[in-house]
Amino acid sequence: MGNMKEYTIAVVGATGAVGQKMIQLLEKSEIPLKELKLLASARSAGKTATFKGKEYKIEETTNESFKNVDIALFSAGGSITKAFEKAARESGAVVIDNTSAFRMDENTPLVVPEVNAEALHNHNQLIANPNCSTTQMVVALKPIKEAFGLSRVIVSTYQAVSGAGVEALEELDTQTASVLKGEEVEASILPSAGDKKHYQMAFNVIPQIDLFSDEGYTFEEWKMINETKKIMGMPNLKVSATCVRVPVKYGHSESVYIEIDKDDVSVADLRAVLADAPGIIVQDDPSTQLYPLATESEDKKDTFVGRIRKDPDDKKGFHLWIVSDNLIKGAAWNSIQIAETMIDMNLI
């Protein structure tokens, strides 16, 4: 960290899957901490959480919660962000929001530090953290764009159940146990708690994440399409997406097809550029069956890339297999990394 200032940090949504990861990551962060405030809904207020061996009481989020807070990390759903971001900013806090509430707002930077840290200069005390499936993809796309140009992205995802929250993880376990015992399976959360119909997730794949939006796409798919264009600063980049939930607990996997501008790039060239890029670990060796696996990504900050191949029928087409822990780089770590980067840039 570039200075000796100490910061008061609030975590809004401290009892959620992402909030819990934020607390764990803050324990290891280099940010000099003056005070930590753990906030949640009235329902969770009074519970406790441990931070650096000390017990912290979780408080209800109110407009008064943000007094003397320097950095407010929001991850409690878009409605909570919309309800409290103004109070937080008026109290002087910089809000780093992990919900979709302000991601496409043109006055709000949408930031993945490896990709577009420079956008942080335009913050108005509010920075949006992208959708998990977008974040890991743009980490890999950025160095490719810089080295070879990029014209097109077609992605199919294999997304972990933890992205749907703690209750969805419990439902996966319960359903899985039922299938193994030959019992009837009950579904009440997945694919989306807010939707009408619920389907078995155990031993199944569900091609729906979030609710359906227009043109037959889900909101999750539109997030990947629109957020990628915004973060990459490429409004004309062709992006299309199919988002699918798989019975995995942690770690999103993505089959990403890209078209680059140059037609004389080899797989070795692409691999070298990715290996040199920040935040990426290349795992790509067919001779030793080395490729990224969701189970191996758990609790790691990196984005793992492998299965790098050229389209046999298109010199500019390549496949990538991109894996990262959706709760870490896809959510909690990217938020804290934004805070660390802003401190380094003397923006907080």
User: Which residues does residue 157 pair with via DSSP β-bridges, in sequence order?
Assistant: 254
Min dist. Cβ of residue 321 to a copy of itself (A): 5
Confirm or reject binding of residue 54 to a copy of itself (CB under 8 A): no
- Strand partners of residue 310: 318
Tokens of 25: 């990551």
User: Of 121, 123, 132, 319, which is the active-site residue?
Assistant: 132
Query: Helix, strand, coil shares of the chain as percentages rounded to 5?
Result: 35, 25, 40
**Of 59-67, 84-92, 134-142, 242-250, which part binds a copy of itself (CB under 8 A)?**
242-250
Of positions 89, 247, 344, 347, contacts a copy of itself by CB under 8 A: 247
Examine residue 225 and tell whether it contacts a copy of itself (CB under 8 A).
Answer: yes
Mark 256-295 with x for binding to a copy of itself (rule: CB under 8 A) and - for no binding: -x---------x----------------x-xxxx-xxxxx
Placement of tokens 């770690």 in the chain? 251
Distance CA 219, CA 42 (A): 29
- Catalytic status, residue 243: no
Q: 116: annotated binding-site residue?
A: no
Give me Rg for the CA atoms of the chain.
20
Active site residue 252: yes
Nearest CA among 91, 44, 39 for reference residue 67: 91
- Of 175-194, which residues contact a copy of itself (CB under 8 A)? 176-177, 180, 191
The angle at the Cα of 29, spanning 24 to 35, to the nearest 5 degrees, equals: 80
CA angle at 202 for the pair 201 and 208, rounded to the nearest 5°: 20
The two tokens of residue 109 are 């930077």
Interacting residues toward a copy of itself by CB under 8 A: 152, 154, 156, 158, 173, 176-177, 180, 191, 195-197, 199-200, 203-208, 212, 215-217, 225, 238-240, 242, 244, 246-249, 253, 255, 257, 267, 284, 286-289, 291-295, 306-314, 317, 319, 321
- Binding-site residues for NADP(+): 15-18, 43-44, 162-163, 326
